[in-house]
Amino acid sequence: MNLNLKNKLVLVTGSTAGIGKSVARGFLEEGAEVVINSRSQEQVEVTVNELKPFGKVYGVAADLSNPNATAQLIAQVSQIGHVDILINNVGYFEAKPFEQVTDDEWFYLFNLNVMSGVRLTRVLLPKMLEQNWGRVIFVASETGVKPMPDMIHYSVTKTAIIGLSRALAELTKGTKVTVNSVLPASTWTKGMEIYLNKIAHNTGLEVEELTTAYFSQGDGKNSLLQRFLTPQEVTDVILFLCSVKASAINGVAQRVEGGLLRSIL
């Protein structure tokens, strides 16, 4: 299927690993030009070199929890060209008891997971509207509609992203610009592997045992896939939503969670 993404300029935040890196590569393979981002200059340089064989890729290091660094990212990207597609992917998750999460941790998570997307979209969306074409995707999570008690602060940021995405879509009425969010379930990434290894170390269990328990007894028991998603499965949905084929899909919270959410709406 031709997604007509050739020569589009795409900014993917948090794209040196996991879903973000997979999405960046996917756009490159479709002929788009991609700006990748991470707070680490070293990681950006390594990833740019790794992705170069797939297409025209740029890298900008910036800590998007910081508004000044975000402004610098916007300035550098503007030197490259007009952003046609914005993928607000950057985010951080952790499991921590609610009563132990400090105000500073709440503010940090909101600055990174939510406000990074607010700041970038505030600048880039009006330019898309002027051009009468553009795509904005917020990578949320199934926890945004099914909050996890051991990740309340993370879950709340994802709920905020879903609401933000829908509200921004209202600003695109009558144009060829769309704003959507994507709700993946647990996806097997390096971050997930590190997270599970940490739990395994603390509990004395093997990662395989934790995975089995998650899908048989834990939050994953309603999953119809009964496995973790792959980054490619999430990427494929995001690429479609950014294509001309998805011109009638706007303001939606698109699930990519393998039937984990047991509801028809």
Tokens of 127: 């330019």
29, 3 Cβ separation under 8 angstroms: no
Digit-coded pLDDT (tens) for 73-111: 999 999 999 999 999 999 998 889 999 999 999 999 999
Its pTM stands at 0.95
pLDDT > 70: percent of the chain? 100
Catalytic center residues: 154
58, 85 Cβ separation under 8 angstroms: no
User: What pLDDT is recorded for position 98?
Assistant: 97
User: What pLDDT is recorded for position 1?
Assistant: 64
Digit-coded pLDDT (tens) for 25-77: 999 999 999 999 999 999 999 999 999 999 999 999 999 999 999 999 999 99
39 alpha-carbon distance from chain centroid: 15
Digit-coded pLDDT (tens) for 124-176: 999 999 999 999 999 999 999 999 999 999 999 999 999 999 999 999 999 99
**How far is it, in rounded angstroms, from Cα 44 to Cα 131?**
29
**How far is it, in rounded angstroms, from Cα 76 to Cα 59?**
10
User: What pLDDT is recorded for position 207?
Assistant: 86
**How far is it, in rounded angstroms, from Cα 159 to Cα 56?**
34
Report the chain's mean pLDDT, rounded to a whole number.
95
**How far is it, in rounded angstroms, from Cα 72 to Cα 79?**
11
Q: What is the CATH number of domain 9-187+230-256?
A: 3.40.50.720
User: What pLDDT is recorded for position 87?
Assistant: 99
Average pLDDT over residues 181-202: 88
